[in-house]
Amino acid sequence: RSDMKIWITRHGQTDLNKEQLMQGLTDIPLNAMGIEQAKRAHKALEGIHFDAVYASPLQRAIQTASLMAGIPEKDVKVDSRIIEVNFGDYEGKKYTRLGFKMTSYWLLPEVLPNPKSVESIDSMVKRSQSFLKEIEKKEYENVLIVCHGGIIRTLCGYLEDKRMKWRPKPDNCEIRVYESKHGKHRFIQSIKAN
């Protein structure tokens, strides 16, 4: 298809988000606030029909995708290439207590190497691009992709023709809308439903 809109969003809030802890591959569901955020986003998307809804294999993403698109969880297409970044030894640690190496890397990933147990930017770029290039070959008019605060940075990077879009970090259930046309990309808008 020559003209496709790609809607990329971060899952709703979880208890770990609320406590400002690194979540990574830790698999927990949305909390009450996260469910509310996804429902508000659903209202903001009223009238838009999604030809496909994709989510990472983690519960918080699948739940958000189902609520946001108004479809049963079983109809969400799960793809492990958009799973959250593996934060290794830093999972479950407070954002403010990550130590020098991880804090510096997360601030300046363009220039600093990833700490040993943490997934590299190269790996993030490779899997997110592989996923999006496959999506762009489909006959979708509108496609919704629900993922995570870390991996969304390389997905948006690809759609803004950069390696990554590191800042600003997306809020829970903030939706970034892009157009993909003949392999060219354009950022359209950001929708904050909270």
Question: Cβ neighbours of residue 18 under 8 Å, at least 6 residues apart?
Answer: 31, 33
Let me know the angle formed at the C-alpha of 68 by 193 and 172, rounded to the nearest 5 degrees.
Answer: 45
> What's the CA gap between 30 and 8, in Å, rounded?
18
Q: Which residues carry out catalysis?
A: 11, 84
With contact defined as beta carbons under 8 Å apart, do 142 and 5 qualify?
Answer: yes
Tokens of 120: 């590299």
Query: Longest C-alpha distance within the chain, in Å?
Result: 46
Detail the DSSP E strand segments found in 71-165.
Answer: 77-78, 142-147
Distance, C-alpha 78 to centroid of its chain: 13
With contact defined as beta carbons under 8 Å apart, do 61 and 28 qualify?
Answer: no
With contact defined as beta carbons under 8 Å apart, do 51 and 142 qualify?
Answer: yes
